[in-house]
């Protein structure tokens, strides 16, 4: 019994295994090991105030993401895929800029693992996309994917998933079009709609029914702002969208898109 306990304690004391980041940037596929990234020539120690995942100041060893995106241009489209199925859609432009907001790939050192994100939850490693001065470019929380396993170059969301598109007859300034853009930024990382999307995390938002059909408007707004205030369960994962992230006009536009898409099922 003592030997078993000693072995268990020894295993718990061992550092976490190193991880591998896959980059699929067109015709090339590259694998970066943790140790390679920690020793990257451009790696440095950075501090992130108001870290999105940890809700406090965090310190990381990180590489400027642009240094890893060889051959990628500002007009390209990327997707960060997490271990849990979260799939963040990201235009490449903001990821390539060096300021004022700058994207970094934080790399977890197996010898110094990052803290858990909550009770019975893993940490944000092995790789986490973080931003310095995010407010300067209006970077949203969904643009901070963690537990990243791969980054891929893909066609745009509109080209890959035409089932997400609103009616083409809508005017360029119609709120539904703004809502579609907000849906891509804030919802598509976790949800599909009309079966379209790559996320494996949350339910489809139009099949079999759209939330605008079974939620009263006031409760749907409350659910988006603070899911736990309306439905409380221990395994809940959906974050709330505060007014700092999604103001009232933007929330109106997002709901207009969802309501519009209720009439555009396959």
What integer pLDDT is reported at residue 6 of this predicted model?
45
d(CA 203, CA 197): 11
Note if the pTM is more than 0.85: no
Q: 59-63, 176-180, 235-239 — which is least confidently predicted?
A: 235-239
Residue 200 scores a pLDDT above 90: no
Characterise 92 by phi-psi region: left (phi > 0), alpha (psi -120 to 50), beta (else): alpha
Q: What one-character DSSP code corresponds to residue 86?
A: -
- Of 259, 103, 264, 74, the C-alpha closest to 183 is 259
**pLDDT for 17:** 65
Is the pLDDT at 238 greater than 80? The verdict is: yes
Q: Are 109 and 133 in contact (CB under 8 A)?
A: no
Is the Cβ–Cβ distance between 47 and 164 less than 8 Å? no
Return the axis-axis angle of helices 175-186 and 248-261, rounded to nearest 10°.
100
To the nearest 10 degrees (0 to 180), the angle between helices 248-261 and 217-225 is 120
Instruction: Give mean pLDDT, residues 156-184.
Output: 95
pLDDT band for position 150 (cuts 50, 70, 90) = very high
Q: How many residues are there in the chain?
A: 266
DSSP summary character for residue 174: -
Per-residue confidence (pLDDT) for residue 118, from 0 to 100: 86
Give the pLDDT confidence of 20-58 residue by residue, as tens digits: 999 999 888 999 999 999 999 999 999 999 999 999 999
For residue 93, what pLDDT band results from cuts at 50, 70 and 90?
A: very high
The tokens for 35 are 């140790």
User: Domain map of the chain by residue range?
Assistant: 18-154, 158-261
How many CA within 13 A on the CB side of residue 115? Answer: 11
Domain boundaries 18-154, CATH class: alpha beta
- Summarize the confidence of residues 64-87 as an average pLDDT: 93
- Taking only the tens place, the pLDDT of each residue in 117-144 is 988 889 999 999 999 999 888 888 889 9
What is the CB-side half-sphere exposure of residue 229 using CA atoms within 13 A? 12
- Average pLDDT, rounded, for the chain: 90
**For range 187-208, the mean pLDDT:** 90
Q: How many alpha carbons fall within 13 Å on the CB side of residue 199?
A: 23
Q: Do the beta carbons of residue 100 and residue 77 sit within 8 Å?
A: no
Q: Does the domain spanning 158-261 belong to CATH 3.30.565.10?
A: no
Residue 14 has pLDDT above 60, yes or no: no
Cα–Cα distance for residue pair 230/233, rounded to 1 Å: 10
The predicted model gives 181-199 an average pLDDT of: 91
pLDDT band at 13 (very low <50, low <70, confident <90, very high): very low
């Amino acid at each position: 019994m003592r030997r078993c306990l000693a072995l268990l304690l020894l295993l718990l004391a061992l550092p976490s295994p190193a991880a591998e980041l896959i980059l699929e940037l067109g015709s090339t596929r590259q694998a970066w090991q943790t140790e390679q990234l920690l020793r990257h020539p451009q790696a440095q120690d950075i501090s992130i105030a108001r870290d999105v995942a940890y809700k406090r100041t965090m310190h990381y060893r990180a590489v400027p993401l642009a240094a890893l995106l060889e051959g990628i241009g500002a007009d390209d489209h990327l997707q960060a895929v997490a271990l849990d199925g979260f799939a963040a859609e990201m235009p490449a432009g903001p990821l390539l800029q060096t300021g004022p907001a700058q994207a970094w790939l934080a790399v977890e050192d197996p010898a110094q693992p990052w803290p858990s994100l909550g009770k019975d939850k893993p940490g944000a490693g092995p790789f986490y996309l973080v931003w310095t001065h995010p407010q300067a470019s209006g970077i949203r929380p969904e643009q901070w994917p963690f537990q990243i396993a791969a980054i891929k170059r893909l066609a745009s969301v509109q080209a890959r998933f035409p089932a997400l598109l609103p009616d083409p007859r809508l005017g360029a300034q119609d709120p539904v079009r703004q809502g579609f853009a907000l849906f891509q930024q804030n919802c598509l990382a976790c949800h599909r709609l009309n079966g379209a999307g790559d996320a494996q995390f949350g339910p489809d938002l139009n099949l079999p029914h759209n939330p605008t059909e079974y939620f009263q408007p006031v409760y749907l707004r409350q659910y988006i702002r603070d899911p736990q205030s309306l439905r409380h369960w221990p395994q809940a994962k959906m974050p709330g969208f505060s007014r700092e992230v999604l103001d009232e006009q933007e929330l109106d536009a997002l709901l207009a898109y969802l309501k519009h898409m209720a009439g555009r099922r396959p």
